[in-house]
Structure 1
Amino acid sequence: MGVEIDIRGLTKSFGRQVIWRDVTLTLPAGEISVLLGPSGTGKSVLLKTLVGLLRPDAGSIVIEGQDICRLKERDLYEVRKLFGVLFQDGALFGSMNLYDNVAFPLREHTRKSESEIRAVVREKMDLVGLVGAEDKLPGELSGGMRKRAGLARALVLDPKIILFDEPDSGLDPVRTAFLNQLIVDLNQRIGATILIVTHDINTARTVPDNIGLLYHRHLAMFGPREMLLSSEESVVRQFLNAQRVGPIGMSEEKDADELAAERDTELPPLPPIPLQMMPSDGVPRSRQRPPGQWCAENGIVPPAGSFGGSDVGADPAAAL
């Protein structure tokens, strides 16, 4: 099962350039969270900070009672075994076939015999649908297959936390949909805490339990999926609905003149909140909330047509 990650007051700079400051959020154990934000806002930097590859200037990251920002390298090495990471391009070793790529963490971090390693590798490759491709080199694979191979490698140590750095990068919409379904099924099967950095709005709207948005060197909002998808906050609304009107510009934030020119522009209505993606077997994840529950509990009327046009979309009280 996954573990909770408690982040408090996290600040990171490179020289005089502040990446983000005072980032505070809790990634609930066993849930899927998505982190959004304009390009260049430090989403990947946050992932590297979570695994201890970068040290923050201030703040804490507490996992299983340990603040990894203050651990010695030896202790940090042990905590990293809780993590599995899928990098943007899979980060596979080009000279190794898929079997050896997936087996690498087991050979590096465990004392398992080759027969034990073979059993684990086959299990994980079966999980991501790559049985039969063990002898292929990364250069012989499609982008989607490389992503799945990278995911199999991230899973071999049975991590409690899985980080995805733009898993949809370079994939077409169909393969992105397959990968999203794989993530949801994986969460149901092993209960890991999952954080996905993505720019894909459909992924953000349908996959996670929680959504966060980094903007202008701070965390603009983080909370349950329905909270952000029904939000009237300008930066959240602009990003999630892919609008040009709002505080985000080509260079992250617009200047005062641009914002003044847009002041009287009428924003389009929020789109309906879609149903959350279900596991393939149709059984809800253990932490999955009923559609409309958050809106009902907080007295929010979601956009018309939300949740597949059910009564919940029209009357939040129907969710209770």
Structure 2
Amino acid sequence: MGVEIRVEGLTKAFGSQTIWQDVSLTIPSGEISVLLGPSGTGKSVFLKSLVGLLKPNRGHIWIGDRDLPYLSEGQLYETRKLFGVLFQDGALFGSMNLFDNIAFPLREHTKKSESEIKRIVMEKMDLVGLVGAEGKLPGEISGGMKKRAGLARALVLDPEILLIDEPDSGLDPVRTSFLNQVFVDLNAQINATFLIVTHDINTARTLPDNIGLLFRRELVMFGPREMLLSSEEPVVRQFLNASKIGPIGMSEEKDISELEAEANMGLEAGKLPPIPPQQMPSNGLIRPTQHAPGAWCAAHGVTPPPGSFIDELGRNWVEEWPRYVASMSAVAGQHAGPPPGPGPQGPGPQAGPPMGGPQGGRPQPPGARY
């Protein structure tokens, strides 16, 4: 299971320039979280702070019971072994082939034999669909393959926390969708804690369990996906609508006169779009930490935007979900004995058939890719 990350009052500045201040949030263990924000708001700086590459000016980063900014070098070195990091460009060594790039953390941090290293590397390459490319150099492969190779390298030490910096950077929408499916499938398999920095609105709307938004040197909001996708907070509404109307300007935030002019003209960021069903693992099984569609809205008395939770086949997943859970519990029982009892988000199987497409006539999951 992944590790919870608890951030308290975190502030980072470079000289006189404050990047963000008094940031507090809890990234739940084993869940997928996404961090959004306009360019230049310090999202990558936040990731680097979480892994100890940058030291904050003040505040706390609790990784389990360890406060990262106050660890000794030896303690920090050991704590970093909990992390896997996928950098924006993959950060591969140009002179090494993909096999050696992915094997590097194992050779650096473990005393495993070369035969054991080969087994682990090939397992991770198979996981990200790179078997057969192990002899290629980074300069000989596409941007999407570099991302997947960087992801395989981030996975070789079986991390409990995965930090992923703009995985969609330089990728077309189709490859971004495929990569998102890899993240969902990985989370279902290894139960690691994921934090993904992205600008891709479709990723933010369909992939995570939680969303955060940085703006004006502070964390505007962080919480369950449905909370942000139904929020009337102006900056959240503007960002998720990709609208020119709202507090975000071309450089940073708009000044008061610009906002007043927009208000006087009756301009609005637009209605919130429907909340889509959340993307599911390829095999259709429910992730252990996954929330039922519409559960947050119902618990907090929030009416979601019209048309929410309806998939491309016209199915309403608020209504479909109980039947789907029952169906998947039956599938899990056939493959792994009696189904488990209710978890923190309600009943759901923890084991089931191998990865693959629809099986046995059971309903297709929302957001799955076949």
The bucket for the TM-score relative to the shorter chain is over 0.9
Following superposition, the deviation at residue 251 of structure 1 comes to 1.2
Per-residue deviation at 1:91? 0.4
1:93-242 correspondence to structure 2 within 5 Å:
93-242=93-242
Displacement after TM superposition at 1:313 (Å): 7.0
Offset, 1:29: 0.2
**CA distance change for structure 1 residues 116 and 274 in 2, over 3 Å: closer, same or farther?**
same
Change in Cα spacing, 1:94 to 1:267, as seen in structure 2 (3 Å) is closer
CA deviation string 1:227-274 (max 9, x = no partner): 000000000000011011000001120011110111132442110000
Q: 1 or 2 for the larger relative contact order (CA 8 Å, sep ≥6)?
A: 1
The sequence identity of aligned pairs, in percent, is 72
Amino acid paired to 1:153: R
Size of the aligned set, in residue pairs, is 315
TM-score after normalising by structure 2: 0.84
Please give the secondary structure, in 1, of the residue aligned with 2:20: strand
Could you say which residue in structure 2 is the equivalent of 1:317?
none
Check conservation: 2:237, 2:269, Cα contact below 8 A: no
* CA contact 2:213–2:222 (8 Å) conserved in 1: yes
* Structure 1 match to 2:254: 254
Query: Which residue of structure 1 lines up, in the alignment, with residue 60 of structure 2?
Result: 60
Instruction: Give me the whole-angstrom Cα distance separating, in 2, the residues matched to 1:267 and 1:16.
Output: 33
User: Is the contact made by 2:161 and 2:192 (CA closer than 8 Å) also made in structure 1?
Assistant: yes
Deviations along 1:185-211, one digit per CA (max 9) or x if unpaired, are: 000000000000000000000000000
Over aligned residues, Cα RMSD in angstroms? 1.3
Cα deviation per residue 1:94-122 (whole Å; 9 max; x = unaligned)? 10000000000000000001011011001
Q: Which residue type is aligned with residue 306 of structure 1? A: S
3-state SS of 1:118 partner: helix
Structure 1 distance, partners of 2:270, 2:54, is: 40
Q: Give the ranges of 4+ consecutive aligned residues of structure 1 lying more than 2 Å apart after TM superposition.
A: 309-314
Name the residue aligned to 1:275. Answer: 277
Aligned with 1:300: secondary structure?
A: coil
Secondary structure in structure 2 of the residue aligned to 1:157: coil
Structure 2 regions of 5+ residues with no counterpart?
A: 320-345, 347-370
Q: Which residue of 2 aligns with 1:301?
A: 303
Unaligned runs of 5+ in 1: 315-319
Give the residue type in structure 2 aligned to 1:143.
G
Following superposition, the deviation at residue 74 of structure 1 comes to: 1.1
